[in-house]
Structure 1
Amino acid sequence: MKRKIVSLLAVGAAASMLFSVNAFADQIKVWVADNVVDFTNQQIDAFKEANPDFADYEYVVEAVGEGDAAGNMITDVEAGADIYCFAQDQIARLVAAGALEEVA
Structure 2
Amino acid sequence: MAENVIDRIRKAEQEADETIRAALEKAGSIVEQAKKDAQTSVRDHEAAAQAAAAEKVMAAQEKSKAALEEASRDLDAQMQELLQTARARQPEAVQKIIKALV
After TM superposition, the score normalised by the length of structure 1 is: 0.20
After TM superposition, the score normalised by the length of structure 2 is: 0.21
Pick the structure with greater CA Rg. Answer: 2
Structure with more of its chain in strand, by fraction: 1
